[in-house]
Each structure stands twice: as C-alpha cells, then as structure tokens.
C-alpha cells in the first residue's frame, strides 16, 4: 500500500510519535511518501533516521491512504492538499482535543494493522466552497470545517447582509459570522454557541460571533442552498478565515458560499461512534456532580 504522510512541524516532543508510525509502515513494506516540510523537520530538526520512498510538495502525490500526524489543524491542512483526489485520511492525534484526528499514538500499530486487514470504515464529510473575486489566486477556496467572516483592526462590529438563494435572510450586526459544515460544528462554531451537528447530516450552520442583539440565534440550513454575504465595515475591510487560513478583503467584495462538488473521506476505526467521541472529548452530557 501507498501512504502519504503529513505532520505538525511545531511541536518537537509530540512529533516523535511519527517515528512509531514509520516503523509500523516499514514492517509492512509500505510505500511511504512524506510531505517535504514534515520530512525536513523530522530529519534535520529532530535528527531522525527514516526509511521512506520519497518526499513530495503541494499536491504532487498519490496514495491509498493519507496519514495526518498532529491535531485537527494538521488534519485540515492535509485535507486541503488532498482536495478532489478522494484519498481517505487517517488522523493520528498528537494535539489536544482531536475530533478529526482521533487515533491516539498508542493506537497507531493496531490501527495500521486493521487497515491492512480492511477492518475500518470511511466517512464522507461535506466541504464548503467560497466564490469571491478578491481572493488571492494562491488561496484555496474550500473548507472542511468552516468559513468565518470577522472584523479586522477595529473594535467596532461589522454588518453582514446575508441572503439565502437570493432572498434576504438577516443583517448580522456582530463581530463576525461562521458558516460551518457538520464537521466544523464542533470547532469554532461550537465555541461561540453554535449547535452540535452529526457529521452525516446534509446541513450548514450559520453562527454569529458576539451578535449585538438578543434575538439573533444560530440557524441550520440544508446544504443545497446558496449563501450570499455582503459586508460593511467602519474601516472598509474585513477578515475571512477558510479553515483557519486568514486573508483580508475589501468590503466591496460579495461572498458566495455553497456546498462543494466533492467530499473528504475520513478513515474511522471500526466501532467508532460520534456520541462516544462527544462524551470522551468534551464530556458531553456528563453530570459533574457525580
């Protein structure tokens, strides 16, 4: 089998878990392709000796399985490189929470064993697509988690004129607005009061950030709807974050957001359950009085 490896290059102590992954893959004589930035970090900064097939850059790779070693941020980076390739992604969690990257370091060997035994499942996760003429050509317009519109360089809130399929819905007076997939519902959106959404539902959540009104609440939409946003800002600009990739835009840009025509495939261990993850990662429904 062919494996393409992405990893976190900022936490040296946690990156040593990657060595376990390489040893297990070598045991199976797997073809190992490593993102060059991660390979340089492991071999030059950590001085690890690794047996791999070759390195790659950007989207110049192909594989049977992509492995992300890090937290959910690393997983999102890997997903942006996978794009339309349709390669399933396995997330090894060396970060903190780990909703997407949910394989713990001590499960690496058993998980790879199960992959070779075909004992795993694949979950399809929807992706958002942004259309905006002001985006830099190098910017990826696709988000697995969320697209966030946020105020920039000012304490004043922004006005976000929001339309659904061309019909005006609301003008948010707020610090920002988060448009999240079900996958992203447990990320930034959740932290500002958004709903938890089961990953397999075909929905999009709109969650305002610090709205200046008591009667403005998050709303969940069918994901076949088109969302159009026009932003007004006192300093005539705003910040857009696409899965954490930030860019400043002029307020005259109109944003159009819809479901992308492809999905991201996520490798899950057999028996993995979303509600178990909620309970173990976020203590969802746990009575702290007991």
Q: What is the pLDDT of residue 165?
A: 97
Residues 62 and 132 in one domain: no
Q: What is the DSSP string of 120-164?
A: EEEEEEEEEEEE-TTS-TTS--EESSEEEEE--S-SS-EEEEEEE
Residues 142 and 247 in one domain: yes
The last residue of one of the domains, among 57, 83, 118, is 118
Burial of 58 (0-12, 13-18, 19+ CB in 10 A): exposed
Q: What is the pLDDT of residues 18-60, one digit of tens each?
A: 889 999 999 999 999 999 999 999 998 888 899 999 999 988 9
Beta bridge partner(s), residue 104: none
Please state, in angstroms and rounded to a whole number, the distance separating the CA atoms of residues 77 and 7.
9
Q: Would residue 270 count as lying in a domain?
A: no
CATH value at residue 77: 3.40.50.10330
Range of the domain at 39: 2-118
Residues 254 and 141 in one domain: yes
Residues 138 and 248 in one domain: yes
Low-confidence residues of the chain: pLDDT under 70? 137-138, 290
Residues 90 and 137 in one domain: no
Report how far apart the first and last C-alpha atoms of the chain are (Å, whole number). 47
Q: Would residue 187 count as lying in a domain?
A: yes
| 225 DSSP 8-state letter | S
Q: What is the pLDDT of residue 176?
A: 96
Beta bridge partner(s), residue 248: 239
Q: Would residue 282 count as lying in a domain?
A: no
Please state, in angstroms and rounded to a whole number, the distance separating the CA atoms of residues 153 and 175.
11
Instruction: Output the pTM of the full model.
Output: 0.92
Among 58, 72, 153, 250, the active-site one is 72
Residues 173 and 230 in one domain: yes
Residues 213 and 108 in one domain: no
Indicate the SS3 state at residue 192: coil
CA dist 42 to 4, 89, 169, Å?
Answer: 15, 21, 50
Q: Would residue 226 count as lying in a domain?
A: yes
Q: Would residue 166 count as lying in a domain?
A: yes
Q: What is the pLDDT of residue 223?
A: 96
Residue 72 falls in the annotated catalytic set? yes
Q: Would residue 137 count as lying in a domain?
A: yes
Asked if 29 and 112 count as a contact pair (C-beta separation under 8 A), the reply is no
Residues 217 and 111 in one domain: no
Residue with token string 């199960």: 114
User: Cβ neighbours of residue 147 under 8 Å, at least 6 residues apart?
Assistant: 128, 130, 178, 179, 240, 241, 242, 243, 257
C-alpha torsion sign, points 106, 111, 113, 114:
positive
Total domain count, the chain: 2
Residues 110 and 133 in one domain: no
CATH value at residue 244: 2.60.200.30
Q: What is the pLDDT of residue 137?
A: 67
């Amino acid at each position: 089998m062919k494996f393409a490896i992405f990893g976190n290059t900022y936490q040296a102590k946690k990156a040593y878990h990657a060595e376990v992954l390489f040893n297990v893959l070598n045991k199976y004589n797997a073809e190992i392709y490593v993102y060059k930035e991660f390979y340089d970090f492991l071999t030059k900064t950590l001085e690890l000796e690794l047996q791999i097939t070759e390195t790659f850059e950007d989207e110049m790779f192909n594989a049977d399985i992509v492995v992300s070693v890090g937290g959910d941020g690393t997983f999102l980076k890997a997903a942006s490189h996978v794009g339309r390739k349709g390669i399933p992604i396995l997330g090894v969690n060396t970060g903190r929470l780990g909703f997407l990257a949910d394989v713990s370091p001590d499960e690496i060997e058993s998980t790879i064993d199960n992959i070779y035994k075909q004992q795993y499942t694949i979950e399809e996760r929807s992706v958002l697509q942004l259309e905006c003429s002001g985006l830099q050509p190098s910017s990826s317009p696709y988000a697995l988690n969320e697209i966030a519109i946020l105020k920039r360089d000012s304490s004043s809130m922004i006005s976000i004129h929001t339309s659904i399929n061309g019909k005006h819905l609301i003008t948010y007076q707020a610090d920002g607005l988060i448009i999240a997939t079900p996958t992203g519902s447990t990320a930034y959106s959740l932290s500002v009061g958004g709903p938890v959404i089961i990953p397999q539902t075909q929905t999009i959540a709109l969650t305002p950030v610090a709205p200046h009104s008591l009667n403005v609440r998050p709303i969940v939409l069918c994901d076949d709807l088109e969302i159009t946003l026009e932003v007004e800002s006192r300093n005539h600009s705003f910040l857009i974050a696409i899965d954490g990739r930030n860019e400043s835009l002029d307020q005259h840009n109109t944003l159009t957001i819809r479901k992308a025509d492809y999905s991201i495939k996520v490798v899950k261990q057999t028996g993995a359950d979303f509600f178990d993850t909620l309970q173990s990662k976020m203590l969802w429904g746990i009575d702290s009085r007991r």
